[in-house]
Structures are given as structure tokens and as C-alpha cells.
């Protein structure tokens, strides 16, 4: 393999990780709800997720390369038909809104748990800076803030490693307590397999257009290898993030931003720095979500567009104030997981039909040769 090929693989590994790592991962809620409830069996959750999502993602790459799909609705139409594509397109709008609600709640929780601001004040601050950014067209500036994502990921790994090292002896007893249901944990599914499948369903909604679009622009071999490695590493990181939570399970149950609490426990200045970084990450996640919602119904820069932006923002604020972050994200995880699994089933049907069509074509060609 030449350096150019390896360089492309490395870029696709990094881009897939950066694209999927969001507020759920950074806060620790993703690990808590998908992995922690199953103790050591969380390893099988990671294996289930990694194996299936890699195969599904190859399907999205196929849709981009051979179906010439770039957008989410084009991918959905390719696999699900035009009617279901329209239904899923509107679900994507609802998904963006629900994620926006969750991220506002997360922003408020960060400012509350780290800096002592009331939850309502933190949520309002998150909404206002997001709406202002989108309504005056500064969303492109946020691309420069994407550099913080590698630092945040490194923070999470360091915090997780130090926490596990410091509390390693507590893990066996805590695993027993979790597996015997001594703690009332929010979880996405009743067992490790369905939990892994639910995480697949969630990531399908993120990867469908992302991977298909990349397949129309870049060589397919390094893309397939790089993204497959990236998805495997994502599952590994998620699973590893569960162990510091397991090691401190008795102290984190009332926390919304778990990794922030763990950072504070390791070293107070680390918690301060992590709080700033994760809030900016939430801000950069909120902005494109609101932008998509505004662009769906009005032309950017118009009065109607600004009214929609502020209307959507304050509607989301109400949800973020009424319900805590962990409950909002739990509902998002469960509903989106079901929808994503439905898409995967339709993908399987599509590929079965493609294989059967190819077999019939080959059989017809064979019969034609025999006649000749």
C-alpha cells in the first residue's frame, strides 16, 4: 500500500469518528444507556453494533457509488421507495428538532453542573446564541470550531482511563449491583443484543447521507476500509466509556453530564476546561440542527426564515426546560433506533432483490449461450 492510500484511509477513519461523536457520547449518556445496564456483557453490545453498522454502512456506500445518491432522501428512496423516502424525510425533520431539544438541555446542564447557573438560564443562553448565530448567517464560522472535537475525544479517553485506574477495584461489585438491578438505570433496550441493534438504528440516521455522498466523490476502497475501521473504533470507545461510569455508578446517577463530573473528580481545573470545550461542542451541534430546520421551510436570510429560527428555538427551549437531558435523549435513542432498524430491514430486502435480479440475468445469459 502506498502512502497516498494509507493517508486516505486515515482521513476516513478520522472523519467517521468526528462525524458520529456528539453530545450523547461526550456527556456519557450514550455509554450509560446503551452499555452500562449490561455490565460485562456490554462487550457484546459493542460487537453487535460494530459488526452490523459496518455492513449497513457498506450498503450506504453502495447506494452512493452505484445508485448515485448524495442526499438522505435519495438514499431512502433507493432502499425504501419514494413514498417511504418522503415519510422518512419528515421524520428526519422531527429527529433534528428532538436532537436540538436534547442539546439545549445538555447545554443548560453543563452550565448548571460546572458553573452553578440555574438550568433555565443555561438553556436560554444556549438557545439565544444558537438562534442569533443562524439568523444572522454566521453558521459557517463554526467550521473553525471543529478542531475542538479531537481534543474533546482525547479528554474523554484520558478522564475515562484515570477514573478506571483510580476505581478499578470497585468495578466487579458494581457490575454485580447493575446486573442484579440494584440501580434504576435508564436504558434503551432490555438486553445487550437489542441495545447494540438500537445503536445501529440511531447511527443509520447519521450515516445514510454522509457515507453515500462521500462515495460519489472519493475512491471507494480507502473509503470502505477507513470508515469500517472508524466505526469499529467508535464502538470500542463507547464500550470503554462505560467502565469509568461502572466504577463510579453510585455517585453519578443524579448527574446529567457524567463525563464532566468525572473530569471534576480527577482534577478541578480539568473539569473547568472540559466544561468550556463540551459547551462549545454542544453549540456547534445545535447550530446546524437549527439551520436545517430553518432551511426546510424558508430561504436563508428572509424575514420568514428568522421567524422560523426563533420560533423553533423557543419551542425547543420549552421542551428542554420541562424535561431533563437524560430523559429527552432516552426517548430520542429509542424512537430513532426503531426507525433506523426499519430502514435496515428495507435495505436487506433491497439487496435480496438485487441479488435475485442478478441471478435471473445470469441464468438468462446462460440459457442464451446454450441455445446458441
Whether the pTM exceeds 0.85: the reply is: yes
Helix (H) or strand (E) holding 85: helix 82-115
C-alpha span between 286 and 293 (Å, rounded): 11
pLDDT tens digit sequence for 204-224: 999 998 999 999 999 999 999
Q: Cell for 23?
A: 453530545
What are the 10-residue block averages of pLDDT along the chain, 372 residues in total? 81 86 91 97 97 97 93 92 93 94 96 94 95 76 59 88 96 95 94 97 93 93 95 96 96 94 93 91 88 85 90 96 95 96 96 90 74 64
Helix (H, G, I), strand (E, B) or coil at 157: helix
- DSSP symbol at 255: -
Residues 244-286: tens digit of each pLDDT:
999 999 999 899 999 999 999 999 999 999 999 899 889 888 9
The answer to whether domain 3-363 has CATH 1.20.1740 is: yes
| Rounded CA separation 220/9 (Å) | 10
Amino acid at each position: 500500500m502506498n502512502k497516498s492510500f494509507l493517508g486516505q484511509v486515515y482521513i476516513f477513519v478520522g472523519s467517521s469518528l468526528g462525524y458520529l461523536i456528539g453530545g450523547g457520547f461526550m456527556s456519557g449518556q450514550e455509554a450509560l444507556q446503551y452499555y452500562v445496564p449490561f455490565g460485562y456483557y456490554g462487550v457484546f453490545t459493542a460487537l453487535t453494533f460494530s459488526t452490523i453498522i459496518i455492513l449497513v454502512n457498506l450498503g450506504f456506500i453502495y447506494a452512493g457509488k452505484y445508485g448515485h445518491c448524495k442526499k438522505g432522501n435519495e438514499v431512502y428512496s433507493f432502499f425504501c421507495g419514494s413514498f417511504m423516502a418522503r415519510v422518512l424525510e419528515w421524520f428526519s425533520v422531527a429527529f433534528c428538532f428532538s436532537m436540538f431539544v436534547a442539546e439545549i438541555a445538555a447545554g443548560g446542564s453543563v452550565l448548571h453542573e460546572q458553573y452553578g447557573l440555574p438550568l433555565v438560564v443555561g438553556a436560554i443562553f444556549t438557545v439565544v446564541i444558537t438562534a442569533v448565530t443562524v439568523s444572522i448567517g454566521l453558521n459557517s464560522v463554526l467550521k473553525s470550531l471543529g478542531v475542538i472535537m479531537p481534543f474533546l475525544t482525547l479528554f474523554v479517553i484520558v478522564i475515562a482511563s484515570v477514573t478506571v485506574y483510580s476505581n478499578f477495584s470497585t468495578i466487579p461489585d458494581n457490575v454485580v449491583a447493575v446486573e442484579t438491578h440494584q440501580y434504576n438505570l435508564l436504558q434503551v433496550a432490555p438486553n445487550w443484543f437489542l441495545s447494540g441493534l438500537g445503536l445501529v438504528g440511531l447511527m443509520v440516521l447519521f450515516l445514510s447521507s454522509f457515507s453515500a455522498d462521500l462515495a460519489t466523490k472519493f475512491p471507494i476502497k480507502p473509503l470502505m476500509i477507513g470508515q469500517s475501521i472508524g466505526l469499529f473504533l467508535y464502538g470500542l470507545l463507547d464500550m470503554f466509556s462505560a467502565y469509568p461510569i461502572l466504577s463510579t455508578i453510585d455517585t453519578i446517577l443524579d448527574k446529567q453530564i457524567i463525563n464532566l463530573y468525572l473530569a471534576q473528580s480527577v482534577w478541578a481545573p480539568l473539569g473547568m476546561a472540559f466544561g468550556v470545550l463540551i459547551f462549545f461542542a454542544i453549540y456547534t451541534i445545535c447550530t446546524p440542527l437549527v439551520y436545517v430546520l430553518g432551511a426546510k421551510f424558508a430561504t436563508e436570510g428572509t424575514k420568514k426564515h428568522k421567524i422560523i429560527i426563533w420560533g423553533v428555538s423557543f419551542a425547543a427551549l420549552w421542551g428542554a426546560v420541562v424535561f431533563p437531558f437524560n430523559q429527552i435523549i432516552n426517548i430520542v435513542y429509542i424512537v430513532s433506533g426503531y426507525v433506523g432498524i426499519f430502514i435496515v430491514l428495507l435495505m436487506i430486502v433491497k439487496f435480496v432483490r438485487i441479488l435475485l435480479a442478478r441471478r435471473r440475468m445470469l441464468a438468462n445469459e446462460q440459457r442464451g449461450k446454450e441455445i446458441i
